[in-house]
Amino acid sequence: MYGTQLPSPSPSPSPPHFARRDTTSVLAFLLDQQKMFKILPKIHNNHFELKDSFTKMKVKVAAAQLSDTVAAVIETYVAFNILPAEAMYTAEFVEKMDCLFDSLNSSYYYPQDGKSYKCALSAESPHIEMWYSLLKEMENWKVLELGTGRDKTNMFSFISAW
């Protein structure tokens, strides 16, 4: 499992922030599964128990794990002190990935479901500004192995190859 180190939102020096896919998203999912009325009804165990490499490579699985609904669930659990405040970094990361997926994979001309990136690219759409902002931010990301803390950023060429 990997965590992604995100840059500090402020220019002053501060400790690094981490988006942790291993614990935060899974814990939010497990907490939701205990509820009678689920916030994540479309997400199942097989979205987190990736038993083979084919499942790991499915965009559908990544899109489900990195959806705005998952970000909202994490934020809700943080607000009620069920998850620690640091989990908000994961929620922010998940939301950014959801916006990126929407911006690259939409078949609608106009924004859908209140999501400004879930539409076709046009001169008026916010896509290009978001892409440049995200690319600039990604330059500072570090992918760390959670068990050892070793830097695995170079294994993911998408971060520096753009």
Residue among 143, 139, 138 at smallest CA distance from 154: 143
In eight-state DSSP terms, residue 8 is: P
Task: Please tell me the distance from the alpha carbon of residue 125 to that of residue 137, in angstroms, as a whole number.
Answer: 20
Render pLDDT for 36-94 as a digit per residue (tens, 0 to 9).
Answer: 887 787 777 666 666 766 666 777 777 888 888 889 888 988 999 988 898 898 899 99
Give me the amino acid identity at 93: F
- H helix or E strand, kind and range, residue 3: strand 2-6
Residue among 32, 31, 34, 9 at smallest CA distance from 19: 9
Question: Has residue 30 got a pLDDT over 90?
Answer: no
3-class secondary-structure state, position 6: strand
pLDDT at position 95 is 93
Render pLDDT for 116-154 as a digit per residue (tens, 0 to 9).
Answer: 888 888 888 899 999 999 988 888 888 887 778 888 887
Handedness of CA 121, 125, 128, 134 (dihedral sign): negative
Read off the pTM. 0.75
Task: Please tell me the distance from the alpha carbon of residue 75 to that of residue 85, in angstroms, as a whole number.
Answer: 9
pLDDT at position 36 is 83
Lowest mean pLDDT: which of 17-21, 22-26, 112-116?
17-21
pLDDT (mean) for 10-34: 64
Task: Please tell me the distance from the alpha carbon of residue 137 to that of residue 134, in angstroms, as a whole number.
Answer: 5
CA angle, 95 then 97 then 102, to 5°: 95
Residue among 124, 120, 111, 105 at smallest CA distance from 66: 105
| φ and ψ of 100, to 5 deg | -65, -45
* Order of strands, sheet of 2-6, starting from the edge strand that comes earlier in the sequence: 17-20, 2-6, 142-145
